[in-house]
Amino acid sequence: MARVIATRLLRLVATLLAVTFLTFSMLELLPGDPVDTLLPPDANRTEELVAQIRAELNLDDPFFVRYFSWLGDFVRGDLGKSYITGQTVADTIADRLPITLQLAMMSIGMALLIAVPLGILGAYKQGKWPDTVTSAGVQVALSVPNFIFGIFLIWLMAVQLQWLPATGWNRLTDQGLVANLKTSVLPASALALSQLAVFSRLVRSDMIATLQENYVLTARSKGLPDKYILFRHALRPSSLSLMTIVGINFGALLGGTVIIETMFAVPGLGFRLINAINSRDILVIQGITVFIATAYVVINTVVDLLYSALDPRIRRS
């Protein structure tokens, strides 16, 4: 176990080095200057002022000097602060993360809750009408981009039925669960749809393969009811690839719910990242990127641990 963790940590360090360096280089290639966004549009833009700001932010140092100075701060636990707002990057992440985390977990939870039974049903009734109907539904869900579904949800639930607000976010900690759910259900649903489709496909195909296994025939020959066989014998061996995809999705959702967060005006991490990119707020971009990369590595480790919980053959002695 100690060795596993040590390897993971090494891998994390390597990943972070690569990711931060690449992000830094990419930002170097971007046209535009943070100074432009720092100065108010009506400001009297003088050469001296610009030079002064550039000097304050160390923007004139060579690329490698800036990268390694950032890296040095990072190693000491200092992610720096935003050029624009002055908020520290650590605070920014701590502020935005709970929102994005909740959206990610909610959407994955909702997708799993529906997808697993659907996938099992499809496999169990393979080729019969329940399978045909769910497969068709899944096909549709797969082909609808999540922002289109988001627009539909806003139209239906906010405009037509007026049950839920179209945009905004109530924090769980400030406004309580009900108020929070009112603002979180729609974006989470919008994110859940395509995941649901992918998950149920995976479960269905893995389940179909599992149901061909000899041990399922053995279970049937013992007179066990189908439901018991499906859930107690076939589900676990059929959920390994599901685990992988859930892990990947989780990582992707932490950094990539930009469109949905923007559409529903949810002040999450992705939303903030896009702002930072638009304003060339390099330290914020770096900080969030580092966080997402770390999250990926952690999630992958958790998925690996889940594998061995699901399949005793993978467990180390």
**Which residues make up the interface to other proteins (CB under 8 A)?**
127-128, 213-215, 217-225, 228, 232-233, 236-237, 310-313
Q: How far is the CB of 72 from other proteins (least distance, A)?
A: 48
30: left (phi over 0), alpha (psi -120 to 50) or beta: beta
Q: How far is the CB of 16 from other proteins (least distance, A)?
A: 35
CB closer to other proteins out of 14 and 217: 217
CB closer to other proteins out of 45 and 232: 232
CB closer to other proteins out of 147 and 307: 307
CB closer to other proteins out of 181 and 310: 310
Q: What is the 3-state secondary structure (H, E, C) of the chain?
A: CHHHHHHHHHHHHHHHHHHHHHHHHHHHHCCCCHHHHHCCCCCCCCHHHHHHHHHHCCCCCCHHHHHHHHHHHHHCCCCCECCCCCCEHHHHHHHHHHHHHHHHHHHHHHHHHHHHHHHHHHHHCCCCHHHHHHHHHHHHHHHCCHHHHHHHHHHHHHHHCCCCCCCCCCCHHHHHHHHHHHHHHHHHHHHHHHHHHHHHHHHHHHHHHHHCCHHHHHHHHCCCCHHHHHHHHHCHHHCHHHHHHHHHHHHHHHHHCHHHHHHCCCCCHHHHHHHHHHCCCHHHHHHHHHHHHHHHHHHHHHHHHHHHHHCCCCCCC
Q: How far apart are CA 180 and CA 172, in angstroms?
A: 5
Q: How far is the CB of 111 from other proteins (least distance, A)?
A: 24
Q: How far is the CB of 312 from other proteins (least distance, A)?
A: 4
Residue 272's identity, in one-letter code, is R
CB closer to other proteins out of 12 and 240: 240
CB closer to other proteins out of 127 and 168: 127
What residues contact residue 231 under an 8 Å CB cut-off, 6+ apart? 120
CB 310 within 8 A of CB 240: yes
CB closer to other proteins out of 76 and 222: 222
Q: How far is the CB of 148 from other proteins (least distance, A)?
A: 37
Q: How far is the CB of 233 from other proteins (least distance, A)?
A: 5
CB closer to other proteins out of 11 and 236: 236
Q: How far is the CB of 81 from other proteins (least distance, A)?
A: 50
Q: How far is the CB of 221 from other proteins (least distance, A)?
A: 5
173 beta partners: none
Q: How far is the CB of 310 from other proteins (least distance, A)?
A: 7
CB closer to other proteins out of 125 and 171: 125
Name the residue with tokens 């100075």. Answer: 69
Per the document, the length of the chain is: 317
